[in-house]
Structure 1
Amino acid sequence: MDHITFLVVVVIATALAFDFTNGFHDTANAMATSIATGALRPRTAVLISGVLNVVGAFLSTEVARTISGGLVDDALVTPGMVFAGLVGAVLWNLLTWLLGLPSSSSHALFGGLIGAVWAGAGASGVHVEKVVEKVLIPAAASPVVAGTAALLATRLALRVTARAREDAVADGFRRGQIATASLVSLAHGTNDAQKTMGVITLTLISAGALHRDAGPPLWVVAAAGLAIGLGTYLGGWRIIRTMGKGLAEIRAPQGFAAETASTTVILTSAHLGFALSTTQVAAGSVLGAGLGGRPARVRWNVAGRMLLAWLVTLPAAALLGGGSASVVEHGGTLGTTAVALAAGGLALVIVLLARRNPVGAHDVNDDQPLAEPAGTGTPV
């Protein structure tokens, strides 16, 4: 217990706070399409998703090992750097949640951590080749793979059911969505909760409480799973509305196809240790399902804003993490306190701004502006 200093406790608490924001920021990944099609009631959906996120956290630790011993040099990392990186990730998550943008919580975490380590330990503290291999390449490939799979699955589903009654088809696929949305939730817990596990494990290694190359202890797995599960149950209604109603016009067959594609990509990557963004996978699947519809209806302006958020998330979080690390590493306890107070103040401002225009379970399915047929730009 000598290694568990006050700063380590603060870092662990901040990591779990990030995990909580990750939960409500990413609820849309699993449940937006099921809520949009009416397969699940909003409150029921987030309850199921929260429980399965907790279960999923216990299924694998490969992604956690990638973060704790792959992206940065744990021999050069200090608990202060990890704290600074988490501050950058939490603030970016809250900002994009306020804007209703389904940006990547994962890339916010990676960016914050990379920026903090770079500022605190120099470029040698970051394993750039691992960042490219485990983060950037999957980030580029995963939404394309998921989107293509969802498009093909949607076309197949529509072709197979072309002669069936529309109401029977919709009812059948809504039932199927309960299973597929549940699988996405399980996959999300398996993938995303591990990122917080990895950060806490990295902190314990840097403090000397765990040996290098150690995996996350059971209490870390349990704490990360519970934090993301609670955040998921809170429901990130702003992003759920964007993903379910704002990006594309989704009916039950398309929702089923999107969720099936997301589950396959996320679970496969988690098994291989790729720390990809479940948000990008889910959004790619929704976009592919929208393009696979007849007619294909996608809101390209929303897709463009989302793509812009994806591109800036990692560098923006890196700047926030790097700036925080500069203060923490040079200011000691006083610097850490200043960063914590400043971050808490900014978080409070964002929450208060969100309350001026709230979105909840009661209006998450309010109609968005009509979609445009893909490639025409003409309202329908």
Structure 2
Amino acid sequence: MSPELIAVLAVIVAAMIFDFTNGFHDAANAIATSISTRALTPRVALAMAAVGNFIGAHFGAGVAKTVGDGLVTLPTGVASLGVVLAGVLGAIVWNLITWYFGLPSSSSHALFGGLVGATLLASGGVVQWGNILDKVIVPMVLSPMVGLVLGYLVMLAVLWIFRNGQPGKLNRGFRHAQTASAAAMSIGHGMQDAAKTMGIVVLALYSGGYQSDKMHIPGWVFWTSATMLALGTYAGGWRIIRTLGRKIIDLGPPEGFAAETVASAVLYFNALVLKAPISTTHTITSAIMGVGATKRLTAVRWNVAGNIVIAWITTFPAAAAIACLCYLLVRPIFS
């Protein structure tokens, strides 16, 4: 095999490993609320999330093209593949660190930070800072704010509409409704997160000279990315599921339904309309906070929320720093 092919295969394998870690790291995004409210058993919830992620991946082409072409520019060749590999390795390491501590950080921003960090050290690499600002930083700030506000408003609407209902009957009804909202959340997660891996694979194919068009996504890339994300999701990241489902607020079925509905709507809008790669973690976590705040502000465990926000802020630079170290290690091999 040629050096270029070996390098491309190395990046693709790393991207699939990242996809798997993304799945078990972000499994909580789709089903933590359904598990905590006992709307679904853990394994049924994970299986449904895996299927939803697999389906959603096939609708994420717009996001994949943004990741593959809109964030960094690399010259073709083996050296550039070392940059992509280092960026993906940085994201994998950060995913594992935050998973170990049970922090629902953004796998998306870990990937973006890794790519940017490695590109900054590479000769001939260019970071498209305008696109980073428009498509990464601004959504990183706005999506939690939108999730928080919409979560609060939707939960208020649910409380008002069902204000005269019997609590026991309402809880049973909302548990059934959560099956639909969790499925919608799973598909939205697939649209966003499998798409980012697809973008990395396309970038590797282009940099290695095996594809002349950075906007084309081969069919096998859809299937492999979707499958690895689904398998990772089914493996389940229980540490983060416990954080989202139990440690931020005590969720009931109405709160879980409202949070999932808000988060999935935000994900769909960004993936299908704006084609912007946003963080599913930021979106669902902020929606849970907004929903919880309708009870009373003290219902939200703000110390836990504060730790999560710190993880959000540090993810991009931390993954970038790790990717820089990885690039220093792989550069001699890919030179």
TM-score band by shorter chain is over 0.9
Q: How far off its partner does 1:6 sit? A: 1.1
Is 1:288 matched with 2:290? yes
Aligned positions of 1:104-143 closer than 5 A: 104-121=106-123, 125-143=126-144
Cα distance change on mapping 1:44 and 1:25 into 2, 3 Å: same
2:96 corresponds to which of 94, 97, 113: 94
Match of 1:370 in 2: none
Partners of 2:67 and 2:9 lie apart in 1 by: 19
Secondary structure of the corresponding residue to residue 121 of structure 1: coil
**Alpha carbons 1:104, 1:313 under 8 Å: kept:** yes
Match of 1:346 in 2: none
Q: How far off its partner does 1:74 sit? A: 3.5
Secondary structure of the corresponding residue to residue 249 of structure 1: coil
Q: Which structure carries more helix by proportion?
A: 2
**Equivalent residue letter for 1:264:** A
**Alpha carbons 2:202, 2:214 under 8 Å: kept:** no
Match of 1:18 in 2: 18
**Alpha carbons 2:203, 2:214 under 8 Å: kept:** no
Aligned positions of 1:353-364 closer than 5 A: none
Aligned positions of 1:92-241 closer than 5 A: 92-121=94-123, 125-241=126-242
**Equivalent residue letter for 1:178:** T
Match of 2:61 in 1: 61
Q: Deviations over 1:84-113 (max 9, x none)?
A: 111100000000000000000000000011
**Alpha carbons 1:120, 1:326 under 8 Å: kept:** no
**Alpha carbons 1:68, 1:74 under 8 Å: kept:** no
**Equivalent residue letter for 1:39:** A
**Alpha carbons 1:254, 1:293 under 8 Å: kept:** no
Match of 2:328 in 1: 326
Partners of 1:13 and 1:295 lie apart in 2 by: 45
Partners of 1:295 and 1:326 lie apart in 2 by: 47
**Equivalent residue letter for 1:255:** G
Segments of structure 1 that go 5 or more residues without pairing to the other structure are 336-380
**Alpha carbons 2:27, 2:237 under 8 Å: kept:** yes
Q: How far off its partner does 1:4 sit? A: 5.5
Structure 1 runs (4+) deviating above 4 angstroms are: 1-4
**Alpha carbons 1:66, 1:273 under 8 Å: kept:** yes
**Alpha carbons 1:248, 1:287 under 8 Å: kept:** yes
**Alpha carbons 2:60, 2:190 under 8 Å: kept:** no
Aligned positions of 1:75-94 closer than 5 A: 75=75, 78-94=80-96
Is 1:5 matched with 2:5? yes
**Equivalent residue letter for 2:206:** I
Q: How far off its partner does 1:3 sit? A: 8.2
Q: How far off its partner does 1:39 sit? A: 0.5
Segments of structure 2 that go 5 or more residues without pairing to the other structure are none
**Alpha carbons 2:60, 2:194 under 8 Å: kept:** no
Relative to the length of structure 1, the TM-score reads 0.85
Partners of 1:50 and 1:74 lie apart in 2 by: 33
Partners of 2:216 and 2:34 lie apart in 1 by: 35
**Equivalent residue letter for 2:111:** L
How much identity, in percent, do the aligned residues show? Answer: 42
Partners of 2:123 and 2:291 lie apart in 1 by: 44
**Alpha carbons 1:3, 1:208 under 8 Å: kept:** no
Partners of 2:221 and 2:156 lie apart in 1 by: 43
Equivalent pairs counted in the alignment come to 332
RMSD: 1.6
Aligned positions of 1:294-309 closer than 5 A: 297-309=299-311
Match of 2:262 in 1: 261
**Alpha carbons 1:148, 1:288 under 8 Å: kept:** yes
**Equivalent residue letter for 2:286:** G
Q: How far off its partner does 1:326 sit? A: 2.2
Q: How far off its partner does 1:52 sit? A: 1.1
Match of 1:369 in 2: none
Q: Deviations over 1:10-40 (max 9, x none)?
A: 1100100000000000011110111111100
Match of 2:44 in 1: 44
Q: How far off its partner does 1:61 sit? A: 0.3
Q: How far off its partner does 1:159 sit? A: 1.5
**Alpha carbons 2:113, 2:319 under 8 Å: kept:** yes
Q: Deviations over 1:157-187 (max 9, x none)?
A: 1111121111011111111000000000001
Relative to the length of structure 2, the TM-score reads 0.96
Partners of 1:255 and 1:121 lie apart in 2 by: 48
Secondary structure of the corresponding residue to residue 73 of structure 2: coil
